[in-house]
Structure 1
Amino acid sequence: MKLNHINLEVTDVTATVDLFETYFGFRRTRLVTQEMAFLRDENQALISLFRNEAVVYPQMFHIGFTRETVEEVDELHRRLVEGGFHPEAPREDHGRWTFYFATPGGFTLEVQKFHRELV
């Protein structure tokens, strides 16, 4: 089974599109407007974004991405910092090397690499 799509309401469509394209390898599938956008990854999973300036996600809500190596997690963290984002520092957490950060769309992303068996 593969993930087909995620539909998100975001506070800033354009900035969220830029984030997904620049750092996560997504590509737009249609014209991006300030109101909506559609992005696909290399597996053809779709993220649809719709503007809602008042959206508030639950505290624990986040979307997680896995990298192939711990070094890739660290490199993405470095690039995000250089790009003006403020991710927390990468850390060990239950067998994962991971970090979280708040997106310009109003939700949280996690980047991780499982590097040992979970206990």
Structure 2
Amino acid sequence: MNKQCTGTLNHLSLPTKDPIATARFLERHFACEIVTAGEHVLLKRDGVDIVLDRVAGEPQWPGNFHLGFEMATLREVEELHQAFAAAGVHMETDVFNNSRGSRFFCRTPEGVMLEINTREDKQDGWQRLF
């Protein structure tokens, strides 16, 4: 008997007070495709469904919860940071480098944290241990 889930990651479900605003943000800045919209919104990106569930109260997120998007190059990360800032996206950080590569953090209109990163400039010591 298999003791691990070997299924494909097929969706994320996120609570939001305004699914349409969040969907438009993800469509504009992250090339998500809005598939259906109503009380809830279904988006698609890279074969993964993103379900935005309408909630009445403020969604609660752990402090470090975030969605990550990996870019091929540092230049792409820096260009996105500039474009997002110019578009009025709530920026949490400037572009910075740690051992895993360069990245920045920003937030959706309702506060979900997003990370945009690259491993192009990661330090040599960052590798799989097993």
Note the C-alpha offset of 1:59. 0.6
How many percent of aligned residue pairs carry the same amino acid?
A: 28
Unpaired segments ≥5 residues, structure 2 = 1-6
Larger radius of gyration: 2
Q: Matches of residues 1-119 of structure 1 in structure 2 within 5 Å?
A: 2-30=8-36, 32-33=37-38, 35-41=39-45, 43-52=46-55, 53-87=57-91, 88-114=93-119, 115-116=121-122, 117=124, 118=126
Report if aligned partners of 1:69, 1:113 keep a CA contact under 8 Å in 2: yes
Report the more deviating stretch, 13-22 or 58-67. Answer: 13-22
Q: Is the 8 A contact 1:9 1:49 kept in 2?
A: yes
Contact 2:90/2:109 (<8 A) preserved:
no
Q: Which amino acid aligns with 1:50?
A: D
Aligned with 1:29: secondary structure?
strand
TM-score by length of 1: 0.87
The Cα offsets for residues 7-50 of structure 1, whole Å up to 9 and x where unpaired, read as 000232122111211111110111x23x3211001x22110001
AA matched with 2:118: K
Q: Which runs of 5+ in 1 are unaligned?
A: none
Report the secondary structure of 1:49's partner residue.
Answer: strand
Higher relative contact order, structure no. (Cα contacts within 8 Å, ≥ 6 residues apart): 1
Q: Could you tell me the TM-score, scaled by structure 2's length? A: 0.81
